[in-house]
Structure 1
């Protein structure tokens, strides 16, 4: 993004993480100035938005510099709740060597094993896994645990209070393994879950385990080279004996705004158009309705009688309901993908064709490479992709965590008989971008 770039109001809203209505209010209040192009469409000029921190970060990004980060040595990891591999692949691209990946779903496990035969994929219930053999042998533990309400009977807000939830199993793995760092990811709503008590309990447990929690941050995938508006809450915790001596820095945002055009066609994200693939189909009646919705539109663009018939009881409910009969826009990022592209409340219709998104279109929106194959039924493939962390977002986080480990390796060096970066060669071969060594010296600990 350059200072003279023009940006649509919708894309500006996506970057800012606010609604289009909020941007309209800003324009009305003089906070930003809209202009009108030859097609009578409003736009903004980036140079006039530099006072907004999100835009300033894009203008002054160090994305390319951070792309050059490589590990000082082989750093190991274990991932829990691995799913179809979005987080695991991103961390792998950043240079981490997975010692174990656990996943309960058989189709997701098959996907992981098909694409990465060398990965140690353990299928089964996490409750049955003994992590003690890995004690002191793993640098990083990661996992995206499902959000569940905790018991507060004892009101101690500690480790035992979470028993019976999958977060307890993640915490148990941390307790048994004692990694130097662990990272958890979840939905943004975790911050407000159960009136905020869930996140407070999580913070308390992390402290009880002997880790310093970096202030959690919600990262917007659209800022990290992903053509999607997905938001993920990231929690990173550093072991007490290490935390005072290192300085974790969150990843730089990307200087580009990616859209569905970037996902579906040859360009900076992909070197070819999206491959043809299987996908859901609309019933004839629904297809007839969706044909009436313009690009970027929704149920509000339908004739009123058709809208009432299609929406049924939802027509009279409050709220925008903008996910219903929603057709995406080619020049905007996708709405957050769900586990199915044709659910009535969260429609994801192709921008220019009247059909749901295909499997490979889904995968590209999540920035999976085209050769990453998904196993199982059609619905299983959509579910794996829809539940994943976008690969490019995971990769950006992985690079930030790798920089942290490079600092840790300076203050806590470990002897190794391996050839430098030996285990990193598959990543070099696949992506061909890791040439130099980027490592900042350790600085006093900070949450910034």
Structure 2
């Protein structure tokens, strides 16, 4: 039975946001660029809390499991049903002590349920949940292939996404979800993220339509490249992680845009060590970025052996400043903590351009300005192909 809907239309002029799992506020900055107002953020990590404070934002630090939703409303100066949006990316790794018959991947044993608890109480007009794309296909219970039995009911529990959609459905929210790649929204990096948008009042929500393309006749609509965003700061002596002498030695032999495969044949096995015999493409080992391409996904450290993020031409990893540029943080944004903590905050953030596009899609839904209604979609071939390409670009599914 669906919950009885209450008329919250008196709050429809509101554009206030409450943010959870805010981190370095990448998602929040993008939403504010779109025209929303983040009233308060929350995070468990002390360095993230200090980063938010250093940039003048209201924040409630601490474990979300110990926070009451009314606290967040009081600090934001808002009533139940008044917030325009609640946003956040709850970690979906559940506790190993999840209840009887629940698999190790079941989000009902994770912080996801506390995010649900906040939305259920606060009752925002919209919510945004972002996460790793793996939750779309991750099974609730991991069973080794050799032990799988199609007739075993405990092996037919569905996916993590099934549970997530079921929980939001219980709250009465209409949802749309899909995997978005940040490069299609003006971000100079390939970064696929699962995005779920919900509407309390069952409005016509949609995932943002791509704005940037690999090929386009106008430069401003083409994918952004590493060179466009970091070439002007490559010579600055900024904060930067350090490669070991051994790794720096091998990196010297790798050309721009290359990786371990570009090392001399007699060096590859020595440089790779035990990873040389392992499977997979191993594309991140001794990886140099290319000025002429978007970056690979920015990770939480640029010096890990398997996921190196090294400068296109200099024998060093990307600096903190360059890392922040790839995630589109404002130039004056302050990151607090150790160098490692700064990289981690930046690497975990939602790219600003992607967040802004999501925010604009939600605002367009609220304002009913997203669609130009026509009597028919003219043409039968090229117009329909363009329409289908736009729809596939968001890879959206409605519930």
TM-aligned CA distance change 1:441 to 1:73, over 3 Å: farther
Inter-partner Cα distance in structure 2 for 1:338 and 1:76: 30
Alignment partner of 1:125 is 2:70: no
RMSD value, Cα: 2.5
CA contact (8 A) 1:246 1:442 kept: no
Cα 1:442–1:167 shift into 2, 3 Å: farther
Q: Distance in 2 between matches of 1:325 and 1:144?
A: 30
Q: 2:267 aligns with which of 292, 306, 309?
A: 306
Does 2:161 match 1:208?
no
- CA offsets 1:219-264 (integer angstroms, 9 cap, x no match): 111111111011111001111xx21x53535234222211101111
CA deviation after TM superposition for structure 1 residue 440, in Å = 5.8
Q: Hey, what does 2:333 align to over in structure 1?
A: 372
Gaps of 5+ in 1: 1-71, 156-160, 267-271, 408-437
Match of 1:262 among 208, 220, 228: 228
How many residues in Structure 1 have an aligned counterpart in Structure 2? 330
Q: Secondary structure, in 3 states, of the residue corresponding to 1:227?
A: coil
| TM-score, scaled to structure 1 | 0.69
Tell me if structure 2 keeps the 8 A contact 1:84–1:384.
Answer: yes
Cα pair 1:274 1:361 within 8 Å, conserved: no
- Any conservation in 1 of the 2:178–2:207 contact (CA below 8 Å)? no
1:162, CA displacement in angstroms?
A: 4.6
> How far did 1:83 drift?
0.2
Q: Cα 1:350–1:247, aligned 2, differ >3 Å: closer, same or farther?
A: closer
What aligned pairs does 1:35-46 form with structure 2 within 5 A after superposition?
Answer: none
Shift of 1:311: 1.0
Deviation at 1:301, TM superposition (A): 1.0
CA shift at 1:189, angstroms? 1.2
In structure 1, the partner of 2:87 is 142
1 CA distance for matches of 2:49 and 2:137? 31
Aligned to 1:97: 37
Secondary structure at the aligned position of 1:193 is classed as: coil
Give the 5 Å matches for 1:195-344.
197-214=159-176, 216-239=177-200, 242-243=201-202, 245-248=203-206, 250-254=208-212, 255-265=221-231, 276-344=237-305
Match 2:48 to one of 102, 108, 119: 108
What's the TM-score once normalised by structure 2's chain length?
A: 0.77
Q: Is the 8 A contact 1:219 1:234 kept in 2?
A: yes
Q: Which segments of structure 1 move beyond 4 Å, counting only runs of 4 or more?
A: 272-276, 438-443
Q: Report if aligned partners of 1:87, 1:394 keep a CA contact under 8 Å in 2.
A: yes
- Secondary structure of the residue aligned to 2:139 is helix
CA distance in 1, matches of 2:127, 2:205: 15
**Residues of 2 paired with 1:353 and 1:274: CA distance?**
9
Q: Go from structure 1 to structure 2 and tell me whether the alpha carbon gap of 1:249 and 1:363 turns closer, same or farther (over 3 Å shift).
A: closer
Q: Which runs of 5+ in 2 are unaligned?
A: 1-11, 74-78, 141-157, 213-220, 375-396
